[in-house]
Amino acid sequence: MVRTPLTDEQRDRGRALGQVLRAARGPRSAAAVAHDAGISLDTLRKIERGAIAAPAFFTVASLARVLDLDLTALADRLEPFCETGRTDEPAAAS
């Protein structure tokens, strides 16, 4: 399966997510956060530096839980990086 390349906006949003998560981690070690979230240290490091620009929802949710971040607030912080004119909205029922 070939993946569609990420847009610049998606890459920017991934980097912004990484910065927010890294800041929320504070002085805690990446290894401790990764362990508590049930993900590998390598995965956390890739997310924090933006190499995984679109991590799985449950990965983000687990990190948010461990870092005591509200998912709605997190989404709001990343909103400026969302594409305008998105086409992934559900179609209106006729």
Task: Give the domain CATH number at 27.
Answer: 1.10.260.40
pLDDT at residue 86, as a whole number: 46
Q: How many domains does the chain have?
A: 1
Render pLDDT for 54-79 as a digit per residue (tens, 0 to 9): 999 999 999 999 999 999 999 888 88
Domain assignment of residue 33, yes or no = yes
Domain assignment of residue 92, yes or no = no
Inform me whether the pLDDT recorded for 89 exceeds 80.
no
> pLDDT above 70 covers what percent of the chain?
86
What is the distance between the alpha carbons of residues 12 and 54, in angstroms, rounded to a whole number?
10
Angle subtended at Cα 11 by Cα 74 and Cα 31, rounded to the nearest 5 degrees = 60
Q: Which of 19-28, 48-57, 73-82 has the lowest mean pLDDT?
A: 73-82
The SS3 call for residue 68 is coil
| Both tokens assigned to 65 | 């839980």
- Give the domain range for residue 60: 8-80
What is the pLDDT confidence band of residue 91, given thresholds at 50, 70 and 90?
A: very low
Residue with tokens 């086409």: 87
Q: DSSP code of 13?
A: H
8 A C-beta contact, residue 60 and residue 44? no
Domain assignment of residue 44, yes or no = yes
